[in-house]
Amino acid sequence: MSIFRSTIPDVATEEPMVQLLGPDGTRTPHEQLDAVLEEADLATPERLRGYYRDMVMIRAADLEATSLQRQGQLGLWASALGQEAAQIGAGHASREQDYLVPTYREHGVAWARGIEPWRLLEMFRGVSHGGWDPNELRTHPYMIVLGSQAPHAVGYAMGLQRDGVVGTGDAETDTAVLALFGDGASSEGEVSESFTFAASFQAPVVFYTQNNQWAISVPTSVQSRVPLAQRSRGWGIPSVRVDGNDVLAVLGAVRSALDSARAGKGPVFVESLTYRMAAHTTSDDASRYRPAAEEQEWAERDPILRLRRHLEQLGEIDEAFVARCDEEAHDLAMQLHHHIHGMEDPDPVHMFDHPYAEPHPIVDAEREEYLAYVAQFEDEEEGGR
């Protein structure tokens, strides 16, 4: 026997996964999470239908975005297909006062936070670098430099501590941060440093990884040989792995984690096992690195299908509702389509609007220079014709 200890006698490659809904929709009871869901009224049939509708809507928006990209309306699209439960669940698990810190593929989270999908598309169209007011919608901008947002989340949580809105016992007051990042991003040093800071200051932050099995072409096994959920335990940050295609497990676990953080018990880490059903982005060709069989396998675990089956088992869904959802989703897609097609390109002079909050002579001068330069052509045009 070796003197060197691992998480569990010898390297732990097994990690239990919390699941409330089986692939066929069957509900498994779960003592702690059922209590959490019940207390927060998060699993009523009406709610469940709501989640179903949300997932259908966001999937339709996502598919429409892909087709808008094909039409040249977007420069790129990063599809979240297959991650709807992982995202809608996490989004709804947060309370309004919580602050969410997403990466760039959190369309379901954004939807649950009330961010209109076209605001996401703006970024991929290339008219803006981030389309909403983070403080108004309590959602950080989409972040592209992987891992960079994680310390922001911890810092925001440290601000909450200083504001006295942690551990007061008042549900409307107590606030936490949900920090999202992918399995690939988990390797960035800044994510590890975030664990260090969060643990050290016992900041009210929940780290949430959607382990969708891939970081572009690289499987999660390259980032970690053991289940990612274990990563944070080296900092004494408790963690759990949940089935990310099971909206109830996600909801329960993330809500429970946020409750714990809000109560002042420090950070928690949740790994959500899911699957990126589409290619990495519209620029990617997943067939170059992953077998169709794997995609097939996960198609059968489709999170929307699963919730629908569950609702069917409960007798809480009918054809009419399903059809209405599909219709609304279609309408949403059409709206998106028209909104984006009708979107005019911004006047480039706006690039000079916000590099600084306060006046800056170089920027001002360059702006003038730019305007004078552009005016030349207008003069020419007027003069010439």
Partner 1 sequence: MSTSTATTTLPIAKAITAGLRDAMTADDKVLLMGEDIGPLGGVFRVTDGLHAEFGSQRVVDTPLAEAGIVGTAVGLAVRGYRPVVEIQFDGFVFPAFNQITTQVAKMHNRTSGRVNMPLVIRIPHGGGIGAVEHHSESPETYFAHTAGLRILAPATSHDAYWMTRQAIESEDPVIMLEPKRRYWVKGDVDMDHRPELSPWQAAVVRPGTDATVLAWGPSMPLVLESAEAAAAEGIDLEVIDARSLAPVDYPTIADSVRRTGRLLIVHEASVLGGLGGEIAARISEQCFYHLEAPVLRVGGYHLPYPPARMEHAFLPDLDRVLDGVDRLLEH
Ligand X SMILES: Cc1ncc(C[n+]2csc(CCOP(=O)(O)OP(=O)(O)O)c2C)c(N)n1
Q: Which residues are known catalytic residues?
A: 276, 280, 289
Binding map of ligand X across residues 48-87, x = CB under 6 A, - = no contact: ----------------------------------------
66 is a contact residue toward partner 1 (CB under 8 A): no
The β-bridge relationship of strands 218-219 and 239-243 is unpaired
The residues in 158-177 that bind partner 1, with binding defined as CB under 8 A, are 158-163
Rounded CA gap, 357 and 351, in Å?
Answer: 13
Q: Of 76, 263, 305, 322, which one interacts with partner 1 (CB under 8 A)?
A: 76
Residue 356 burial (10 A CB sphere; 0-12, 13-18, 19+): exposed
Buried b (16+ CB within 10 A) or exposed e, 108-127: bbbbbbebbbbebbbbbbeb
Please pick, from the candidates 113, 138, 276, 309, the single residue that binds ligand X as defined by CB under 6 A.
276
* 244: Cβ contacts below 8 Å, ≥ 6 apart: 83, 85, 86, 210, 211, 212, 250, 272, 273, 274, 303
In whole angstroms, how close is the CB of 157 to ligand X at the nearest point?
Answer: 21
Write down the H helix ranges in 130-281. 134-137, 149-163, 189-201, 220-223, 247-262
Q: Which stretch binds ligand X (CB under 6 A): 49-57, 138-146, 200-208, 313-321?
A: 138-146
Question: In terms of CB distance, is 132 or 181 closer to Mg ion?
Answer: 181
Contact 208, 232 (CB under 8 A): no
Terminal C-alpha separation, the chain: 89
b (16+ CB within 10 A) / e for 6-22: eeeeeeeeebebbbbbe
Residues touching ligand X: how many (CB under 6 A)?
14
Shortest distance, position 205 Cβ to Mg ion, whole Å: 20
Only one of the segments 12-20, 41-49, 69-77, 318-326 lies at the binding site for a copy of itself (rule: CB under 8 A); that segment is: 12-20
Least Å from the CB of residue 230 to a copy of itself: 5
Q: Count CB-CB contacts under 10 A for residue 371.
A: 12
Considering only residues 151 to 190 of the shown chain, the ones binding ligand X according to CB under 6 A are 182-185
Query: Which parts of 274-303 interact with partner 1 (CB under 8 A)?
Result: 283-284, 288-289
Contacts to ligand X from residues 103-122, by CB under 6 A: 105
The site for Mg ion (CB under 5 A) is made up of 182-184, 212, 215
Which span sits near partner 1 by CB under 8 A: 15-23, 38-46, 316-324, 347-355? 347-355
Q: Does 232 bind a copy of itself (CB under 8 A)?
A: yes
Give residue number: closest CB to ligand X. Answer: 182
* Positions 45 through 104 that interact with a copy of itself (CB under 8 A): none
Report residue 55 CA to chain centroid gap: 13
For the bound state, the minimum distance from the C-beta of residue 355 to a copy of itself, rounded and expressed in Å, comes to 28
CB atoms within 10 A of CB 150: 28
Largest CA distance in the chain: 89
223 is an interface residue for partner 1 by CB under 8 A: yes
Residue 76, contacted partner among partner 1, ligand X, a copy of itself, none, CB below 5-8 A by kind = partner 1
- CA dihedral (223, 155, 275, 128) in degrees, to 10, reads -110
For residues 205-244, which are near ligand X according to CB under 6 A?
A: 212, 214-216
Nearer to partner 1, 17 or 137 (CB): 137
Distance of CA 131 to the CA centre of its chain: 15
144 binds, among a copy of itself, Mg ion, ligand X, none (CB under 5 to 8 A by kind): ligand X
Give me the count of residues in the chain. 385
Per DSSP, 180 falls in state E
Q: Under the rule (CB under 8 A), what is the footprint of a copy of itself?
A: 1-7, 10-13, 18, 32-33, 187-190, 192-193, 196, 199-200, 202, 222-226, 230-240, 253, 256-257, 260, 268-269
